[in-house]
Amino acid sequence: DQQVKQNSPSLSVQEGRISILNCDYTNSMFDYFLWYKKYPAEGPTFLISISSIKDKNEDGRFTVFLNKSAKHLSLHIVPSQPGDSAVYFCAGYGGSQGNLIFGKGTKLSVKP
């Protein structure tokens, strides 16, 4: 049973445009959601997070939106840059899990 779903395996965007990466979850007990970015042959690095009591968190070019009623969150990157090309993982935490639950990832390609 997938508690965190990233239904788009890949996304291609033109440099300078907006990238929107989506994530759905089923576990209503999640307290926090996190986004990680992973380049090939490297470990994931933390990008941005949001508490379940908020609906938006912004950090520079990156904004995460949370819609609790829809159990949906999204990561917006504006403007997109070629260096943003990576795999992005959404993760949820909370309740009885004791550890992060990751989605399968979305590979973002930003074309110059």
Partner 1 sequence: DVKVTQSSRYLVKRTGEKVFLECVQDMDHENMFWYRQDPGLGLRLIYFSYDVKMKEKGDIPEGYSVSREKKERFSLILESASTNQTSMYLCASSFLGGTNEKLFFGSGTQLSVL
Closest CB to partner 1 among residues 56, 104: 104
Out of 44, 66, 75, 86, the only residue in the binding site for partner 1 (CB under 8 A) is 44
76 sits in which H/E element: strand 72-77
Taking CB under 8 A as the binding criterion, the range among 16-24, 53-61, 64-72, 103-111 that sits at the site for partner 1 is 103-111
* Residue 37 neighbours by CB under 8 Å, 6+ apart: 44, 45, 47, 84, 86, 87, 88, 89
Number of other residues whose CB lies within 10 A of the CB of residue 43: 7
Tokens 């999640």 map to which residue?
A: 30
Out of 7, 14, 46, 58, the only residue in the binding site for partner 1 (CB under 8 A) is 46
54 binds partner 1 (CB under 8 A): no
Taking CB under 8 A as the binding criterion, the range among 17-25, 56-64, 78-86, 94-102 that sits at the site for partner 1 is 94-102
104 binds partner 1 (CB under 8 A): yes
